[in-house]
């Protein structure tokens, strides 16, 4: 059954969760009270916790499952300085005067993530190849990002071949300040920082209810009640129980990811991490010498694990024609789409704030959101990003259907025209 297959993949551990050894055990004791209570130990929740600790607050993070159980431990680890699905124009339309401030803050957040020790050595930069090459369009987008303070280079066919090892793309945008990390290792490292600085993290503790009272906010869990002064709900697309609204506020989309073993000599071609600009967000990165990670959006039309695997293999073979591949890990994760492709923020009470919407490129964005919402909760100046708070609107099902339809149409077009475009990479130094 298709659903069973997909739900198995959604429950399967990611390659990071399966292989990262340095998990730490956190408290199982619920404190009696806390200045700031964070619901959800993903990147958003943990960066909020660290930021609140900077202000000298007592902080408790409550996690329904384990640290990094949601999108933060299941993603592909691309750290990118631009929001997904946005062009400079569309972003400026939405954020107005606050756009430059936001993109600079995002670039900064990107740098922070990549400067930690879990960034992958020798894999800096992130390429966005253009599936349908149009030089004028690429130049206009590049100039737009530059005007917003983002460093971007326009890559021609030769550079694409050098950096990606394929002739499939004729051009693209290179963001030298992007890169890749092991996201689960990052989450674990952040959790350790929270506890070493006096914060409390309780795993296996789903928050069932959040009730504002006159003098405190009551947070109810199966382990008991906790009194908080300020509450950040950071469940995002994985929100359950009291955080259900963060999941319902977005349209759920599933990404399928897999790692494949491949011969080492292929990797001499030097592959920069990249995600093409197609609507299904197909992406590729090297892990170690003989392994790659790839993935793209799943649609209801794709049914079994075998079909997901052949979809990914087929895509890889369109780019790297005769590359031998052997499946190692396969798993899935949920991202949340919003109509504006930017986060939605909901202020339930001036002491309780929640947000949602990772849109597939949310590593840097989540850390930024965590920090900026703590600033709002504590009345600090901080970043003051231009995301207005509004009531969540649960009207996103149509968005999911639209996205799935566009992805299916795009895949159909790709299959149709793929045979004309299959090209074999030329090893460096060999002229064609």
Task: Give the nearest distance from C-beta 360 to ligand FAD in angstroms.
Answer: 5
CB of 260 to ligand FAD, least distance (A): 16
Q: Give the footprint of ligand FAD on this chain (CB under 6 A).
A: 39-45, 62-65, 69-72, 74-78, 80, 206-207, 234-243, 255, 257, 333-335, 358, 360-363, 366
User: In this chain, which residue has its C-beta nearest to ligand FAD?
Assistant: 362
Residue 297: which residues within 8 A CB-CB, separation 6 or more?
253, 254, 255, 256, 279, 280, 281, 403, 407
- Smallest gap from Cβ 284 to ligand FAD, in A, equals 11
Largest Cα span, the chain: 75
Closer residue to ligand FAD in complex, CB, 204/382: 204
Give whichever of 170 and 334 is closer to ligand FAD, judged by the CB atom: 334
- 3-state secondary structure (DSSP) of residue 334: strand
Smaller CB separation from ligand FAD, 62 or 167? 62
Minimum gap (Å) between residue 334 Cβ and ligand FAD: 5
Q: Return the SS3 of 44.
A: helix
- Residue with Cβ nearer ligand FAD (130 or 284): 284
Residue 397 C-beta: closest distance to ligand FAD, Å: 19
* β-bridge partners, 297: 255
- How far, in Å, CA of 81 to CA of 83, rounded? 7
Q: Which is nearer to ligand FAD, 65 or 229 (CB)?
A: 65
Q: What is the rounded distance in angstroms from the CA atom of residue 47 to the CA atom of residue 68?
A: 12
Least distance in angstroms from the C-beta of 208 to ligand FAD: 7
**Can you say how many angstroms the Cα of residue 21 is from the centroid of all Cα atoms in its chain?**
22
Measured from the CB atom, is 318 or 359 closer to ligand FAD? 359
String of DSSP letters for 138-161: HHHHHHHHHHTT---EEE-HHHHH
Do 156 and 11 form a contact (C-beta atoms < 8 A)? no
Distance of alpha carbon 136 from alpha carbon 154, whole angstroms: 11
Question: Can you point out the beta strands (E) in 191-250?
Answer: 200-202, 209-212, 217-221, 224-233
């Amino acid at each position: 059954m298709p659903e069973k297959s997909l739900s198995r993949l959604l429950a399967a551990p990611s390659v990071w969760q399966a292989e990262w050894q340095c998990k730490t055990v956190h408290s199982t004791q619920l404190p009696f009270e806390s200045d700031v209570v964070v619901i959800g130990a993903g990147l958003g929740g943990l960066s909020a916790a660290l930021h609140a600790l900077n202000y000298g607050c007592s902080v408790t993070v409550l996690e329904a499952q384990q640290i990094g159980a949601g999108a933060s431990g299941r993603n592909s680890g691309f750290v990118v300085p631009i929001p997904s699905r946005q062009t400079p124009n569309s972003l400026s339309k939405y954020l107005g005067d606050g756009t430059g401030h936001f993109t600079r803050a995002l670039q900064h957040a990107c740098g922070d993530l990549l400067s930690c020790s879990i960034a992958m050595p020798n894999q800096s930069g992130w390429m966005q190849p253009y599936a349908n090459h149009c030089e004028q369009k690429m130049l206009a987008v590049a100039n737009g990002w530059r005007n917003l303070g983002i460093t971007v280079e326009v890559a021609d066919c030769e550079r694409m071949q050098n950096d990606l090892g394929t002739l499939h793309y004729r051009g693209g945008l290179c963001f030298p300040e992007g890169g890749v990390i092991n996201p689960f290792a990052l989450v674990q490292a952040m959790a350790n920082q929270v506890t070493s600085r006096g914060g409390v993290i309780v795993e296996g503790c789903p928050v069932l209810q959040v009730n504002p009272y006159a003098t405190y906010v009551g947070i109810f869990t199966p382990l008991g009640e906790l009194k908080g002064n300020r509450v950040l709900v950071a469940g995002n697309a994985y929100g359950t129980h009291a955080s259900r609204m963060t999941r319902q506020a977005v349209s759920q989309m599933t990404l399928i990811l897999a790692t494949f073993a491949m011969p080492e000599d292929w990797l001499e071609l030097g592959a920069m991490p990249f995600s093409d600009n197609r609507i299904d967000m197909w992406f590729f990165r090297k892990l170690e010498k003989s392994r790659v990670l790839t993935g793209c959006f799943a649609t209801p039309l794709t049914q079994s694990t075998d079909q997901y695997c052949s979809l990914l293999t087929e895509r890889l073979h369109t780019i790297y024609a005769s590359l031998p591949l052997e499946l190692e890990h396969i798993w899935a994760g949920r991202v949340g789409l919003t109509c504006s492709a930017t986060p939605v923020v909901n202020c339930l009470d001036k002491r309780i704030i929640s947000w949602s919407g990772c849109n597939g490129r949310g590593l840097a964005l989540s850390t930024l959101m965590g920090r900026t919402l703590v600033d709002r909760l504590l009345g600090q100046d901080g970043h003051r990003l231009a995301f207005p708070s509004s009531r969540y609107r649960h009207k996103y099902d149509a968005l999911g259907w639209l996205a799935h339809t566009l992805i299916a149409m795009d895949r159909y077009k790709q299959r149709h025209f793929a045979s004309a475009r299959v090209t074999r990479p030329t090893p460096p130094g060999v002229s064609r």
